[in-house]
């Protein structure tokens, strides 16, 4: 819906002449050409006949949104077998049934019932819950993120989560893969596929079936039989998949893994101008397996001119205040990232509207030009942070309690600088990046030895 899909669409309807003003056909058999994909949203009892007609027409791919199959019990199980047999007869690969389909921000294809107007994104998602596709459109948008491709796999009668993983591994628009898992049906293939992808692309998984209650809920939801938490932990560790423990962690990790260069190690600097958020970040880094690096003398010397007496050159670097607030976003992070003992930095981003105005005043911007100049200033800062990160080839992860409705946070996010919603979330996400980088380094070194 509303994704500006600009390829040909042929509605099929038993009686209506048009569907949303597009001329409709009575059956797939009547179509003037063979489409690449059929999207089937019909009452359960009509689905198999429709697949049969698609097959006869030569259609090779389908998304079956309709429910009422395996998930409803015995009758449904038989119906699903029949559906699979019909598809097999014509070599049709299909997603579903009982799914909401696909949302692809690059091909502007959205078969779900929710509007999706996000910009093209880099998170490739395969999900055993359709909600974590559709209900995340808006959520991700608030972080400046979106799906490259989001697959709702439904009952996995034909295409399953492993197939989607394979596809996303090869998809050039996907920089990081997110998985929502209630149960993996093909364990060995999952591990093999994940292992083949990890050397060039990170995978983050949230597994919900590890607790007793989660297991039961998953079974009731999609009829999936999940395994113990420990079993899945083993599967993820063996294959190098990063494990998240909540939906917000899943996407936080994707944001950082998809936006930042890899980390050469776990030594980080926290840059702040507020003691409390700095202390919280330090505590969170410790708990996330990150170490606070000891600044080299060279770095300390270079910093002196930018940090007043009230500030601290220990780590966290607490600037307290700057005569020129732009130092905080230009000179200081550049110096910190150059530090030889340091693999990445966490920066506290806060710019209340009143500070934005004050900065502009300081730059002698007239009141009439404020709005335009503010946008330019914010974009300039964001572009510079990105540039520093690229040049040093080390990760910068921002954190803030402010959100996308603040102009500054919005600019950073839109430019591609990851800004997490708290120091704790930022530290965990940077921890995930370090974990991935380590795993990749290790497997690559093993490959070379063999």
132 binds a copy of itself (CB under 8 A): yes
274 binds a copy of itself (CB under 8 A): yes
User: In the complex with a copy of itself, which residue's Cβ is closer, 185 or 390?
Assistant: 185
What is d(CA 284, CA 277) in angstroms, rounded to the nearest whole number? Answer: 10
Of these, 83, 165, 242, 282, which contacts a copy of itself (CB under 8 A)? 282
Contacts to a copy of itself from residues 28-47, by CB under 8 A: none
Yes or no: say if 426 and 398 are a contact pair by the CB < 8 Å rule.
yes
In angstroms, what is the minimal distance from the CB of 192 to a copy of itself?
Answer: 26
131 binds a copy of itself (CB under 8 A): yes
What is d(CA 95, CA 304) in angstroms, rounded to the nearest whole number? Answer: 59
| Residue 393 DSSP code | T
Q: Stretches 56-64, 308-316, 365-373, 390-398: which one binds a copy of itself (CB under 8 A)?
A: 308-316
228 binds a copy of itself (CB under 8 A): no
Q: What burial class does residue 391 get, using C-beta atoms within 10 Å of its C-beta: 0-12 exposed, 13-18 middle, 19+ buried?
A: exposed
Q: Stretches 87-95, 166-174, 193-201, 207-215: which one binds a copy of itself (CB under 8 A)?
A: 207-215
User: In the complex with a copy of itself, which residue's Cβ is closer, 91 or 354?
Assistant: 354
Contacts to a copy of itself from residues 53-92, by CB under 8 A: 67-68, 72
- Dihedral Cα 398, 403, 408, 413, nearest 10 deg: 60
What is d(CA 358, CA 372) in angstroms, rounded to the nearest whole number? Answer: 15
422 binds a copy of itself (CB under 8 A): yes
Contacts to a copy of itself from residues 345-384, by CB under 8 A: 350, 352, 354
Of these, 106, 108, 142, 300, which contacts a copy of itself (CB under 8 A)? 142
24 binds a copy of itself (CB under 8 A): no
Yes or no: say if 347 and 333 are a contact pair by the CB < 8 Å rule.
yes
Of these, 16, 75, 283, 361, which contacts a copy of itself (CB under 8 A)? 283
218 binds a copy of itself (CB under 8 A): yes
User: In the complex with a copy of itself, which residue's Cβ is closer, 30 or 138?
Assistant: 138
In angstroms, what is the minimal distance from the CB of 200 to a copy of itself?
Answer: 29
User: In the complex with a copy of itself, which residue's Cβ is closer, 37 or 291?
Assistant: 291
Helix (H) or strand (E) holding 371: helix 370-392
Contacts to a copy of itself from residues 97-126, by CB under 8 A: 114-115
Of these, 18, 45, 238, 246, which contacts a copy of itself (CB under 8 A)? 246
Yes or no: say if 63 and 93 are a contact pair by the CB < 8 Å rule.
no
What is d(CA 125, CA 83) in angstroms, rounded to the nearest whole number? Answer: 26
Number of amino acids touching a copy of itself (CB under 8 A): 71
Yes or no: say if 201 and 258 are a contact pair by the CB < 8 Å rule.
no
182 binds a copy of itself (CB under 8 A): yes
212 binds a copy of itself (CB under 8 A): yes
What is d(CA 357, CA 374) in angstroms, rounded to the nearest whole number? Answer: 8
In angstroms, what is the minimal distance from the CB of 363 to a copy of itself?
Answer: 21
What is d(CA 87, CA 51) in angstroms, rounded to the nearest whole number? Answer: 7
What is d(CA 438, CA 98) in angstroms, rounded to the nearest whole number? Answer: 39
In angstroms, what is the minimal distance from the CB of 214 to a copy of itself?
Answer: 3
210 binds a copy of itself (CB under 8 A): yes
User: In the complex with a copy of itself, which residue's Cβ is closer, 249 or 262?
Assistant: 249
292 binds a copy of itself (CB under 8 A): yes
Contacts to a copy of itself from residues 431-450, by CB under 8 A: none
Q: What burial class does residue 297 get, using C-beta atoms within 10 Å of its C-beta: 0-12 exposed, 13-18 middle, 19+ buried?
A: exposed
Of 248, 254, 176, 269, nearest to 418 (Cα)?
254
3-state class (DSSP) for residue 385: helix
Q: Please enumerate, as own/partner, the contacts of 217-221 that have beta carbons within 8 Å and a separation of 24 or more.
A: 218/128, 218/182, 218/183, 221/71, 221/129, 221/182
Six-digit token string for 349: 């981003």
């Amino acid at each position: 819906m509303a994704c500006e899909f600009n390829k040909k669409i042929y509605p099929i309807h038993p009686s209506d002449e048009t569907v949303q003003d597009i001329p409709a056909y009575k059956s797939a058999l009547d179509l003037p050409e063979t489409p690449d994909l059929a999207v089937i949203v019909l009452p359960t009892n009509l689905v198999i006949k429709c697949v049969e007609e698609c097959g006869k027409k030569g259609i090779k791919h389908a998304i079956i949104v309709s429910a009422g199959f395996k998930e409803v019990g015995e009758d449904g199980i038989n119906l699903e077998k029949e559906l699979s047999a019909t598809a097999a007869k014509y070599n049709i690969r299909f997603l579903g049934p009982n799914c909401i389909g696909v949302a692809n921000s690059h091909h502007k294809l959205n078969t779900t019932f929710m509007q999706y107007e996000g910009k093209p994104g880099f998170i490739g998602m395969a999900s055993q819950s359709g909600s974590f596709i559709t209900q995340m459109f808006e959520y991700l948008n608030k972080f400046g993120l979106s799906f490259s491709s989001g697959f709702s796999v439904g009952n996995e009668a034909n295409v399953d989560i492993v197939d989607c993983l394979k596809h996303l591994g090869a998809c050039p628009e996907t920089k990081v893969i997110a998985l929502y898992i209630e149960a993996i049906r093909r364990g060995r293939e999952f591990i093999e596929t994940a292992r083949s992808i990890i050397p060039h692309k990170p995978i983050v998984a949230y597994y919900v079936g590890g607790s007793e209650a989660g297991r039961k809920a998953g079974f009731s939801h999609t009829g999936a039989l999940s395994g113990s938490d420990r079993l899945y932990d083993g599967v993820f560790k063996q294959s190098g998949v990063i494990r998240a423990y909540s939906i917000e962690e899943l996407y936080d990790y994707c944001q950082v893994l998809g936006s930042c260069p890899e980390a050469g190690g776990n030594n980080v600097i926290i840059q702040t101008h507020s003691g409390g958020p700095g202390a919280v970040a330090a505590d969170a880094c410790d708990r996330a397996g990150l170490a606070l690096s000891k600044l080299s003398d060279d770095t300390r010397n270079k910093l002196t001119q930018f940090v007043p007496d009230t500030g601290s050159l220990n780590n966290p670097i607490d600037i307290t205040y700057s005569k020129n607030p732009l130092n905080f976003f230009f000179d200081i992070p550049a110096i910190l990232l150059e530090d030889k003992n340091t693999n990445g930095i966490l920066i506290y981003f806060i710019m209340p509207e009143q500070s934005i105005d004050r900065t502009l005043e300081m730059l002698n911007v007239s009141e009439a030009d404020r709005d335009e100049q503010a946008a330019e200033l914010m974009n300039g800062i964001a572009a510079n942070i990105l540039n520093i990160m690229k040049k040093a080839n080390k990760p910068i992860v921002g954190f803030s309690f402010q959100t996308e409705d603040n102009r500054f946070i919005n600019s950073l996010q839109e430019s591609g600088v990851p800004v997490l919603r708290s120091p704790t979330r930022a530290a965990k996400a940077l921890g995930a990046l370090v974990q991935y980088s380590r795993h990749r380094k290790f497997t690559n070194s093993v490959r070379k030895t063999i």
